[in-house]
Structure 1
Amino acid sequence: MKPYQHISIADCNEPLVALSSDLDSGIITIDPHPYMSLGAPYGDRSPFFVRQGILERLQKSQAYLQALRPNWKIAIFDAYRPIPVQQFMVDYSFAQLVASKGLEIDSLTEDQKNSLNAEVMKFWAIPSQDPKTPPPHSTGAAIDVTLCSFNPSYGRIETIDMGSPIDEISDRSLPDYFANSSDKQEMEFHSDRQLLNEVMTYSGFVRHPNEWWHFSYGDQLWAWISHEKLAIYGGVR
């Protein structure tokens, strides 16, 4: 178990609501969705759903970002994630990590499996079926986000380079990885990560300790980081 999974849940029973990509409201959804493109088993569920309160907080964060950077938008990479999708992505990420090290899954020793799995689980939640320990994304309370800019003259949206891609299993994913760099571009990466954190925490979200892109409110991870006694969002099937 991860430390936040010991937090009790008293679900407030808010419904899941759809996130729509809308330049006027400022919130953008990334299309095509990366996990659906890999074949993740969403069935008839869309990844772009969140709890009602999460949508309202996102809108507040976007309004704040708009005041700071008028043509910048919050881009949603991923939101609601059914548990079968969580399992699919954990397995996929493990296989990708194995391949990146020039290894074969079928020939891994137990020590290698355990070591590689530990790397994966630094960034991925356990795909638990237990209602007491739902993965954060399966609650509708966790979102993976980045920043983009919109050029109204050309009608083009451009994703801001944050120094590493979302889901990269490496230390570059740590929020403050570039904090002490004197390289001009890396200093900009850190500044943009700080901006993203500022606009998201403005509306009450907290950031995952290992992932510059992952924010949540009301789930067990949020409660653990915020020293709250209860989570208000549990798993949604």
Structure 2
Amino acid sequence: MDEPEQFWKPIPPYDDRGWDLVPPIEECGEPLVDITGRTPRILYGASYLRQGLDGALDRCWVREGVWERLRRVLALLPERYSLLIFDGLRPLRVQRAIYGQFKTVIQEERPGISAAELELILEDYVARPVKRLDRPAPHTTGGAVDLTLCLDGTPMDMGTGFDNLTSQAHTDWFERTDGGRETMRDQRRLLFHVMEAAGFVNYGCEWWHYSYGDRQWARQKKGVPIYGFCPECDG
């Protein structure tokens, strides 16, 4: 392999503590940029547009700092690698559609589930579709991206698809199971470590979700969040 050895280290367990220590957002005013088609090594899949969700964007918008760090990711990898972005900036109406979609799936899979249990499951996989300026949903800040790695233009097998609603989607799942799936484990490791090396942090319940500048990033980095709610996501 041509990739640096540190990219193959085990993925550490996700630690969800410390939310009470995240300081208030200090919005830096960094602009959103449209990165669609800026480089052949980043493809925008427009996943929610393809699904026909209300308000889904046909362009991939992220904060300028996120774009800079995505370029760092590409610089860290051989030319054979590229990125497929499923989603970037996400308007609230798209968030509402996703939330409703996931809620329906869980209710169909688990008839009779209580409202409390349902909310606990939803909390792991999709932010509540409400406008909270003090705690904005990650994708409404422009700081979060859902993505995967491609090799020679083909998405790498990470063991589950995007938006999978099971514990197998947890980033460290293959570190904790002995199922002979070392290839998927290693490919998750590569994505995790190259994104972290470029300055992103991962949300441990979703192998595809990475962010910079938002509250998740600030919690893990023990810093101050610099991206707040983007007015473009209102409505």
**TM-score (ref. length: structure 1):** 0.83
2:49–2:58 CA contact under 8 A, matched in 1: no
> Would you say how many aligned residue pairs link Structure 1 and Structure 2?
214
Query: Which aligned pairs between 1:1-237 and structure 2 lie closer than 5 A?
Result: 4=19, 7-21=23-37, 24=40, 26-30=41-45, 33-42=46-55, 45-46=57-58, 48-66=60-78, 70-101=79-110, 103=111, 108=112, 112-150=114-152, 157-184=153-180, 186-228=181-223, 230-237=224-231
Please give the alpha-carbon distance, in whole angstroms, between the structure 1 residues aligned to 2:198 and 2:218: 15
SS class of match (1:175): coil
> Which string of whole-angstrom CA distances, capped at 9 and with x for unpartnered residues, describes residues 35-80 of structure 1?
123332227x5451000111010011111122xxx31111111110
Q: CA deviation at 1:3?
A: 6.2
Percent identity of the aligned residues?
30
1:28–1:74 CA contact under 8 A, matched in 2: yes
C-alpha root-mean-square deviation of aligned residues, in Å?
Answer: 2.0
Please give the alpha-carbon distance, in whole angstroms, between the structure 2 residues aligned to 1:80 and 1:122: 19
Please give the alpha-carbon distance, in whole angstroms, between the structure 1 residues aligned to 2:54 and 2:100: 13
Partner of 1:153: none
Q: Which runs of 5+ in 2 are unaligned?
A: 1-16
Please give the alpha-carbon distance, in whole angstroms, between the structure 1 residues aligned to 2:209 and 2:186: 17
Please give the alpha-carbon distance, in whole angstroms, between the structure 2 residues aligned to 1:13 and 1:225: 22
1:181–1:187 CA contact under 8 A, matched in 2: no
Please give the alpha-carbon distance, in whole angstroms, between the structure 2 residues aligned to 1:27 and 1:63: 12
Q: Which runs of 5+ in 1 are unaligned?
A: 151-156
Q: CA deviation at 1:100?
A: 2.6
| Cα pair distance change 1:129/1:48, threshold 3 Å | same
Give the letter for the 2:76 counterpart: Y
2:36–2:59 CA contact under 8 A, matched in 1: no
**TM-score (ref. length: structure 2):** 0.84
SS class of match (1:8): coil
Q: CA deviation at 1:211?
A: 1.2
> Which string of whole-angstrom CA distances, capped at 9 and with x for unpartnered residues, describes residues 130-173 of structure 1?
211110000000001101122xxxxxx31111001121111101
| Cα pair distance change 1:121/1:9, threshold 3 Å | same
Partner of 2:12: none
